[in-house]
Amino acid sequence: MRASRSILPLRLSGLTWERGGEQLLGPLDLELDGENRVVVLGPNGAGKSLLLRLAHGLIAPSSGSVAWEEPDPRRQRSRQAMVFDRAVLLRRSARANVEYALALRGVAAVERGARTDEVLEQTGLLDLANRAARALSAGEQQRLALARAWALRPEILFLDEPTASLDPAAARRIEQLILQIREAGTAIILTTHDLGLARRIAEEVVFLYRGRVLEHAAASVFFEAPATREARAFLQGDLTW
């Protein structure tokens, strides 16, 4: 399905990010090939969002490097997309939000309409296409954010706590869509502190604690037999809920 060579794998090496003399992330090394659904797991403040923003190129590392297989920075950028914990939708219709993103990526005007219809259909938003995006419910807004990202046909999709502010039903729909997007061939890297979500989605887990990668393992291994004390404590925390 992929038209041309892949930008993956993604290699983070010696990556750090600091602010005000305090090192909030790293140093960490991580290689992601995008074959599995990756969940970056960890407590609040572990640096999950930072890791995603660094990998996606929204912020620059203090040291270390974010390297893609693809050397051309423009192609790197155009093959990625990100969905944030709270959808930032433009003050226009749902449809126009998707079309705007496609226009930014240089998709020809004649193709935008069809692609927009397609993703709105796939995300169950076609009936709401002409409604003001800001007037949609929180769950619909997040679905629209997913649709907008999906329309870009990214090779890799970063999701930062995509269901954190949603009720359980809306969160389930988002989860299903994420699985569907993966089925269609997009690599998934998702952060969460929600163990239930992590267990349902993850095939590969990166456990982050105080800015460091403590474990990077297959999901089955991580959940059955966590190697570190911190991970065990984090997983136990779930049991006391």
Partner 1 sequence: MTDLLEAFETAFRLLLSFDAGLLEIVGLSLRVSLTALGLATVVGLPLGGALAVFRFRGRGVAVVALNTMMGLPPVVVGLLVYLALSRSGPLGGWGLLFTPSAMVIAQFLLITPIVASLARQVIADLWVEYEEQLRSLGATSSRALPTLLWDARQSLLTAVLAGFGRAIAEVGAVIIVGGNIAHVTRVMTTAIALETSKGDLPLALALGIVLLLLSMAINAIASVLTARGEQLA
C-alpha to C-alpha distance for 92 and 98, rounded to whole angstroms: 10
When the beta carbons of 143 and 216 are compared against partner 1, the nearer one is 143
When the beta carbons of 81 and 235 are compared against partner 1, the nearer one is 81
When the beta carbons of 151 and 170 are compared against partner 1, the nearer one is 151
When the beta carbons of 9 and 100 are compared against partner 1, the nearer one is 100
Q: Tell me the closest approach of the beta carbon of residue 26 to partner 1, in angstroms.
A: 20
What is the CB neighbour count within 10 angstroms for residue 153?
A: 20
When the beta carbons of 109 and 169 are compared against partner 1, the nearer one is 109
Q: Tell me the closest approach of the beta carbon of residue 148 to partner 1, in angstroms.
A: 8
Q: Tell me the closest approach of the beta carbon of residue 39 to partner 1, in angstroms.
A: 20
Q: Tell me the closest approach of the beta carbon of residue 105 to partner 1, in angstroms.
A: 6
Q: Tell me the closest approach of the beta carbon of residue 56 to partner 1, in angstroms.
A: 7
What residues make contact with partner 1 under the rule CB under 8 A?
53, 56, 58, 77-78, 80-82, 84, 88, 90-92, 100-101, 104-105, 132, 134-135, 148, 152
Give strand pairing partners of 72. none
Axis crossing angle, helix 109-122 with helix 138-151, rounded to the nearest 10:
130
